[in-house]
Structure 1
Amino acid sequence: MEKPSLTVSGLTRYLKLKFDKDPYLKEVTLVGEISNFRPRRNGHQYFNLKDDHALIAAMLWSYRYQALKFKLEEGMEVVVKGEVTLYGPQGRYQLLIKEMEPLGEGALFLAFQQLKEKLTKEGLFDRPKRPLPLYPKRLAVITSEHGAVIHDIETTVARRYPLLQIDLYPAAVQGEGADLTIIKQLERIRFTHGYDALIIGRGGGSIEDLWTFNSENLVRALVDFPIPVISSVGHETDTTLVDFVADRRAATPTAAAEMATPYSLTDLLASLREADSRLNRSIKRLLSVYQEGLRNYLERPLFTRSSYLYADKMQDLDRLTDKLHYLSQQKITSLIRPFNDWHRRLELQHPKNRLLQASYTLEERVNQLNQLMKERLKDLNHRFHAKNQALILLNPLAIMEKGYSLVMTPNEELIKSVDDLKKGQEVDVHFHDGIAKAEIISKEKFEEGKD
């Protein structure tokens, strides 16, 4: 009797059931090298983990990817924790990653080093440090409203320099989005004139607690700040990127206040402040322990397992979304192409373009006409001067200026010959500048051929 045959889907479902029920595959820890990693913007990340002999597909949910404290790169060696599952539509097994750390160092420390190297290359930490004023009048402080930092600063200032006015700009100093609240207060201070210096800080804690002060946006906001900045973040052994961009770094809030003020008083008050600071730091460390316990509790499968119920569907959705995007782009391109062709044709026939071409032609014809008119006027002017010169040469007055005169009767009849004269006749002799009366006493006519 032949065994009943299975479909591909049936076999895949059977294998997936085996994967899902295997307790050893629920949480595995792997060490491997990131391979075939192509970052997807605002989406889930798909890549491979490999070693010298094998390779496994891996998936990282978008919210987990965005929560990484370091930059994921091709070829990076990492330690990951996750669940091995079977992706049915493609019949392949993969690792759904829950946690990821760089191999050999912590994720936050690696992110700190990567960002520090980037900002150092940009020269953000090389600008000259500005001196602090000797006699400040107003001091701005950005820190937690209820933390020990503002208390230490106010106490120190009251002891050392009571004339100094302190203005608190409260902000979150820990947790997601805390850097944005600090940047907002920086903008308020920037547009409020009259401050001599700024203290920005918080108490000590782990690298996670101090991570707000490694924010790239916060560092850039402090680069060109108009007044000197004193950084008082964490303890003396703690280092943040804000320390590198600040004009001064103080190990404690008290030290920051001492830097900002010119005088000091008794060591007794300093000891009391230090004890108060240690008490507050102890409380903060205790709170950090409880917070860590709470985070561990929230990481239990009861709260994290629910997302895996729809893991396959989310991958299907990503695959279909990519396909829809590709097809829609092709369709849009094919629809736009003829529209662009008609648009170019209409542009050539647009009345505005035709009028513009006609105006160019008209302007060219006007210029040609003006040139012809100028040449014609020049020719007429030349001819006019020539005729005028000829008239000047034929003008009787011009001849009379040389010594000639005209003889005329009183009736203004020109006498052209001696035959027209009679003895005793009165005549008018016209010169170029006047008339003279004369009487004919005698006359003599020349014979022809004689002068």
Structure 2
Amino acid sequence: MSQASLTLSELNRQVKDAIRTHLPETYWMRGETSDVRRNRNGHCYLEFIEKDAVTQSIIAKARGVIWSNVFQMLSAYFENETGQQFTSGMNVLVRVSVEFHELYGYSLTVVDIDPSFTLGEIARNRQLVLKQLEEEGVLTLNRELALPELTNRVAVISSPTAAGYEDFCDQLANNPGGLVFYSKLFPAIMQGDRSEASIIAALEKIFQYRDLFDAVAIIRGGGASSDLSCFDSYLLATNVAQFPLPVISGIGHERDVTVLDIVAHTRAKTPTAVAEFFIARLTRTATELISLEERMVSESGSRLLKEQTDLFSLSKELVHQSSLMVQKEMAAVQQLSGKMKYGVRHLLQHQSHVLENRAQFIQMVSPVNILKRGYTLTLKDRKIITSLQGLSLDDVIETRFRDGSSTSVVTGIKKPEE
């Protein structure tokens, strides 16, 4: 070979010397943290990555380390300034020294951090999510929903072991007005990488029973304030914004307002404050109902009194009118009675004259009167015979005269000659 060869260790030493010679200082670097872990000695090992702004694919990566004495100081400072723990998935501005080790290769050693950069990135990401939601027309949808007047059926998304959930339930159960609330827990993971998917899954379960609830409470108590990243996610925000029931948030972080807080119908600082919100609303509704009831009773009493007075006046008027009507009808009856008496009397007189005439006629044509005038009557079997057709030879007949009667036997019948 025309050129001398190098062993790997010799080459790595030259790389190390070259980096030390040409990159001797420390440098402020922007990057995203990944795979952050702390070992038992207190050293923090991680990776720094950079993603393409459009495709989000990783375009650069470097191994990093924060030695225990530095990490203890920087992590406390970072959490105090940002309210969040130093963890994976954060955009950070760190001061690093470039290192190259013959055995472990290229790495970046962190010596300082600027929390204000991370705060700015968090705020910037929130603004990007809010802008996207606004462009899609869903940002204020949940806030525009009307809470029912009687909001006492609450679906709760929380960790079942969280102290905040217990505080929420105790506050509802022991409210000073003795109001009755019905709450149902839909368990979810409220911190960590799986929290976003877990909360969305709980919302989907509630959606299946949405007719049984008036509102949804998303509460988080007892967790670290650093675990807020999921509440700034676009996917969770768009689910909450478009949920058909009003969502009340109480994730227990006073300093920062998350995207979830903004898209929710109402934001309360803590789980207890969420319970107080429901209690205050139902108390106000109960007070309004009591006031309405009292007003209805009062107005009903006044209306009833007025109706009784009107009814009494109407009754008096009816009695008066009835009396006048009775008098009028009695006068009409008396007048009609007089007319009927006159008519009956006239009718009786007329009928009496008719009967007298008929009696005279009957008397005139009676057999007695006929006999008195010299006529006789012939009877057979006590029936008057008016024709020879009614007689036969040997019939016994009776002849009546004015002064008596005789009995004869028919010995001959002579018909007049034609």
TM-score range, shorter chain: 0.3 to 0.5
TM-score by length of 1: 0.43
TM-score by length of 2: 0.46
**Structure label with greater radius of gyration:** 2
